[in-house]
Structure 1
Amino acid sequence: MEPDTAPTLSPLPTSALLELIRRRRSIKQAQLRPDPIPREYVEWMLEAANWAPNHGASEPWRFTVFAGEARRALGESFARSYRLGIDPQKYNPQAEKAQLERVWLAPVWISIGMQPGGHHPEWEEVAAVGAAVHAAQLVAASLGLGAFWTSGMPVLHENTANFVGLKAPARLLGFLYVGYPAIPWPQGLRGDWQEKVAWRWG
């Protein structure tokens, strides 16, 4: 009599998946083209993010997408956050202007929020959001898009968090900006993974 076996999934091409993971790149805003991105592409990215692993099915990720003219208000929020957060003695009008105008360098900006479920340590919720963002970045790479997770004071300031609708205990963890590269696709560099692994096998 044949033993019962659990059903298995049909295998996917692992080599293609590994190649996609190796291909993913963080490309800075000054190295992106301003060309618009199809909304469908962003939807695919966020659907992938929604399948990230998370403890207790808390699904803590929260995203707000800014594209087109909606970026103007986002730039104004960054500029105001700069004014509110900078030491008055260090204030630089050019730095404020850079925050106001940076949103036009990438066609899509996605706020990265974490809404804790209330039952698990915060670090686990943050890790889940990180996994969600990585999934979105992989889909972006599969579409030939660069995606950069940016932070910094104006991006993380309470004023910016309020602007995107995040209230404590929710946290703003940064923004993912996305666009077509204006440069050749960058080559990646990693050390040998085997040097970072200790085996206790068998």
Structure 2
Amino acid sequence: MVAFAVEHRPEFSALRARLDEARRRATVAQRSLIPAPTLYFGARGERAVIDPREVRPNAAGQVESLGSDHRSILLAADVSLALPVFDRAQAARARADVDALTVQENLSIEARRVRAEVGAARASVAATRSSYERWRAIGGAVEEATVLARRGYESGQVGIIDSVIILERIARGRIAQNRSRAEYWRARTALGRAVGVIQ
């Protein structure tokens, strides 16, 4: 019954619509078409490596290389840092995530409240149904007692005072029967509202 209430009560459909909208906003924010700009830092160095067997002194007294220079990278490092200042979708994602979490919490609070309402309404229906069914079972006896009291008075077998006392007790029984019927239908209406069948 609680699952039916969660499915059919209007406040749950409104909360589910808000949750879907927050999730859609988060998805749109994650699919941002503008790439986040990044800042790169790097350092690079080179040095010449000469094979010592290929070196000879020239006429001027300087060292002359016979082989070719071999260059190798001594240091190469790149560091990439995203610049959050330019990430405009980050705030939208955060707002959408907070909205989604808030709505989910509201949904769970509403579900607990509805569970309590449905439980109380079911207990009320069970209590009033037993009283109503007892009065309904003796409804025929009340009608028969009314007919017998009138016949007894009309035939002179029962005096006016006894007749009034009997009819007063019968009237109290009918009032109690009508009251129990009204309480039972009031409890059923409250259960219908709690479940979401009656708006």
Which of 1 and 2 has higher RCO (CA within 8 Å, sep 6+)?
Answer: 1
Greater C-alpha radius of gyration: 2
Same fold (TM over 0.5): no
Q: TM-score, normalised by structure 2?
A: 0.21
